[in-house]
Amino acid sequence: MVTTEELNLPLIDPTIKGQILDTGVISFSFAPQIVFGYGCLNRIGFLSLFLKAKNAFIVTDAEIEKLGFPDKVQRYLEKSGIQSSIFNEVEPNPKEETVIKAAEKFKSSGSDIVIAIGGGSVMDAAKVIRLIARQGGKPSDYDATKSTIMAVHEQLPHQISIPTTSGTGSEVSIVAMVTSEKNKVTILGYPLISTIALIDPQLTMSCPPKLTAYCGMDALTHAIEAFVSLRVNPVADMFSLQAISIIYQNLKKSYSDGKDVIARVNMALASAIAGMAFNQKSVGLVHACSHQLSSQCNLPHGLANAIMLPHVLKINKKVVAPKYAIMATAFGISPQNNSSDNEIADKFILEIEKLNKDIGIPPRLSECGVKVSDIEVMAQNAIKDIAALTNPLQPITKELVESVYRTAL
């Protein structure tokens, strides 16, 4: 239910250019088209033909290439009479230079479609490759957190995104992140969205336990942060609750037994559902903090989120405890007699800490090489992160962020 108070929330700072002003306006858009199913990779030729593709530029990374998935895509495309070439140089937290190089290759290859097969880094890189190839400039020119940015405005070439992990939601989102020197560049815009998300849970079966855990916690963080975000969208909230419930029931299973097909299918589904929720409502302080942990200290995105999540939940609790109580029901926590929202919220946070422990997430940032001397710069950058704008507790000050990092250290 939307309340008058919610409708009057000053959601986004209107002085920052390039941001969507949605004070009180609810926006519904759950593109792209999703094709989901175990083994559905074999539809890639048909779907590319449907988009009238003749020459595909396949974006991936070296690890995924070793698994043979891009070759498989090429064979399916060949059967449909579609030529293709492979760019396999995307690294984790993709660098600006890599994206620019790939955009040049995309243009010179004469390709008319981008097919991204890999994790979030690959799919994000592919979005920006299309942007740079069509609109020019470099990724940092489009940084949505800067006051002078190039707008993402042109119709971009088609992209089919094929995730090989369950968590990032990049296959359904309008956001892409790349790294310029040590800074995260956030690029936002509807033209970036994939035309089709082809989600084949079979491709996630070989995902190692650690990565399964990191990605799963990323998806859970998307669902939770979207649910408590300052933006208003009851449809997206249904998506969040469904994703939270599915992840809670399946993450431990897919972590402890990677061959559990049902758990893998459910996690792939939940990841996309959580992605659709945060695509509408954005995320919050967990992501603002974790972006810095990745760019400054090289922590994998999902790991950084998993460690920060309980700490941020604790500081946000004072403003959104009733929402935690609703999310707790998605965990199957039923309220005892006369238990307050605060008490249920505590149980919810405890359950997340237990889940982290069960899937091998270290409880402290210091165990991952983060030092006290890293905190100041990270906090300074995190307060400018676009994700901080929709965090329920405001204002997000440098002191507040420093204290959260310290508690998590």
Characterize the bridge pairing of strands 113-118 and 183-188.
unpaired
Distances (CA, A) of 62 to 67, 106, 145, 206, 353: 9, 18, 31, 15, 34
Q: How far is it, in rounded angstroms, from Cα 202 to Cα 204? A: 5
Question: Least CB distance from residue 308 to Fe ion, whole Å?
Answer: 11
48 or 316: CB nearest Fe ion? 316
Chain residue whose CB lies nearest Fe ion: 218
Question: Least CB distance from residue 343 to Fe ion, whole Å?
Answer: 29
Question: Least CB distance from residue 283 to Fe ion, whole Å?
Answer: 7
Question: Least CB distance from residue 168 to Fe ion, whole Å?
Answer: 6
48 or 93: CB nearest Fe ion? 93
Name the β-bridge partners of 59. Answer: 87, 116
Tell me if 232 sits within 8 A of 7, measured CB to CB: yes
124 or 218: CB nearest Fe ion? 218
Query: Using CB under 5 A, which of the segments 216-224, 266-274, 372-380, 392-400 binds Fe ion?
Result: 216-224
Query: Using CB under 5 A, which of the segments 1-9, 73-81, 86-94, 217-225 binds Fe ion?
Result: 217-225
Tell me if 386 sits within 8 A of 188, measured CB to CB: yes
When asked if residue 112 is in the footprint of Fe ion (CB under 5 A), the reply is no
State whether residue 303 is helix, strand or coil. Answer: helix
When asked if residue 171 is in the footprint of Fe ion (CB under 5 A), the reply is no
Tell me if 170 sits within 8 A of 124, measured CB to CB: yes
According to CB under 5 A, which one of 218, 237, 346, 385 is a site residue for Fe ion? 218
Question: Least CB distance from residue 7 to Fe ion, whole Å?
Answer: 28
Question: Least CB distance from residue 216 to Fe ion, whole Å?
Answer: 11
Question: Least CB distance from residue 18 to Fe ion, whole Å?
Answer: 21
CA 70 to chain centre: 22
100 or 288: CB nearest Fe ion? 288
Binding mask 138-157 for Fe ion (x = CB under 5 A): --------------------
When asked if residue 61 is in the footprint of Fe ion (CB under 5 A), the reply is no
Distances (CA, A) of 109 to 56, 62, 246: 9, 20, 41
288 or 396: CB nearest Fe ion? 288
Residues 354-373 that bind Fe ion (CB under 5 A): none
Tell me if 159 sits within 8 A of 133, measured CB to CB: no
Name the β-bridge partners of 188. Answer: 175
Which of 145, 170, 161, 138 has its CA nearest to residue 301? 170
Contacts of 68 (CB under 8 A, 6+ apart): none
Residues 288-307 that bind Fe ion (CB under 5 A): none
157 or 189: CB nearest Fe ion? 189
301 or 323: CB nearest Fe ion? 301
Question: Least CB distance from residue 301 to Fe ion, whole Å?
Answer: 6
State whether residue 343 is helix, strand or coil. Answer: helix
Q: Tokens 């949605």 identify what position?
A: 22
Tell me if 115 sits within 8 A of 163, measured CB to CB: no
Q: Which two tokens stand for residue 46?
A: 């048909």
Question: Least CB distance from residue 287 to Fe ion, whole Å?
Answer: 6
Residues in binding contact with Fe ion, number by CB under 5 A: 1
When asked if residue 200 is in the footprint of Fe ion (CB under 5 A), the reply is no
Q: How far is it, in rounded angstroms, from Cα 320 to Cα 318? A: 6
218 or 385: CB nearest Fe ion? 218
200 or 218: CB nearest Fe ion? 218
Characterize the bridge pairing of strands 175-180 and 183-188.
antiparallel
- Phi, psi angle pair for 165, to nearest 5°: -130, 165
Query: Using CB under 5 A, which of the segments 26-34, 55-63, 218-226, 235-243 binds Fe ion?
Result: 218-226
Interface contacts to Fe ion, rule CB under 5 A: 218
